[in-house]
């Protein structure tokens, strides 16, 4: 009697099949469970005067980004200048002297609409473009908690055209700025990670 013994080649074919089977099972299980692992979109719907920062025209979004950075700087300046109980908000001249964009008149100022900035009440800054038909107006309300950024004008966000020939900045001086006044005047509030109510 002779004994026959089968010797398999040591080329790793059997191991490769098991590894391929395990990988295939992992991918199939992952693909099957993926719909159950989706993040739920929780958030409130936007009011008619609110615009999601992700839906803005790139030019407006660039200015909003600059205003967010300016907001942080203005908050720091105010905190550093508090003397006693009086609140001191930095003036436009101070912001321009610090080369704080968008208040400084540099090349970016020329490219982004040449906005004339004015402090219309404590902690509220309004910028009106010299070419109002092309660029919107902006309002940065640093005195609100949290800070608010508003814009006015129909530049690429799909809402009905607002009256761009708006009141001049001087007509808002010493007027109590509140959401209802701005909404009534056609302003839209930028809503996003740092500009939420």
pLDDT at 7: 81
Q: pLDDT for 35-44, tens place per residue?
A: 887 776 666 6
pLDDT at 40: 65
Q: pLDDT for 10-24, tens place per residue?
A: 788 888 999 999 999
Mean pLDDT in order along the chain per 10 residues (197 residues): 80 87 96 82 73 84 89 87 66 88 79 83 86 80 87 54 39 66 87 55
pLDDT at 172: 53
Residues in contact with 96: Cβ distance below 8 Å, sequence separation at least 6, in sequence order = 103, 104, 105
The verdict on pTM exceeding 0.75 is no
Phi then psi for 72, rounded to 5 degrees? Answer: -65, -45
Structure tokens at 30: 């992952």
Q: How far is CA 157 from CA 15, 55, 136, in A?
A: 58, 7, 11
What is the rounded CA–CA span in Å between residue 167 and residue 128?
Answer: 10
pLDDT at 41: 60
Residues in contact with 21: Cβ distance below 8 Å, sequence separation at least 6, in sequence order = none
Q: How far is CA 180 from CA 73, 117, 153, 189, in A?
A: 27, 22, 17, 11
pLDDT at 87: 67
Phi then psi for 133, rounded to 5 degrees? Answer: -75, -20
Domain layout of the chain by residue ranges? 50-191
């Amino acid at each position: 009697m002779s004994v026959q013994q089968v010797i398999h080649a040591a080329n790793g074919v059997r191991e490769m099949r098991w590894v391929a089977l395990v990988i295939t099972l992992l991918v199939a299980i992952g693909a099957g469970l993926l719909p159950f692992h989706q993040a739920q979109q929780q958030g409130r719907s936007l009011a008619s005067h609110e615009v999601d920062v992700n839906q803005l025209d790139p030019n407006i979004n660039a200015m909003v980004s600059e205003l967010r950075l300016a907001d942080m700087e203005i908050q720091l300046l105010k905190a550093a200048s508090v003397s006693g109980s009086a609140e001191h908000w930095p003036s436009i001249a101070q912001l321009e002297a610090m080369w704080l964009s968008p208040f400084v008149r540099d090349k970016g100022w020329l490219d982004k609409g040449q906005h004339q900035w004015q402090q219309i009440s404590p902690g509220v800054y309004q910028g009106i473009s010299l070419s109002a038909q092309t660029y919107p107006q902006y309002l940065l309300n640093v005195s609100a908690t949290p800070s608010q950024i508003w814009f006015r004008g129909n530049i690429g966000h799909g809402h009905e055209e607002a009256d761009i020939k708006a009141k001049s900045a001087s007509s808002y001086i010493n007027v109590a700025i509140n959401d209802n006044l701005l909404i009534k005047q056609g302003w839209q509030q930028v809503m996003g990670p740092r500009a939420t109510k």
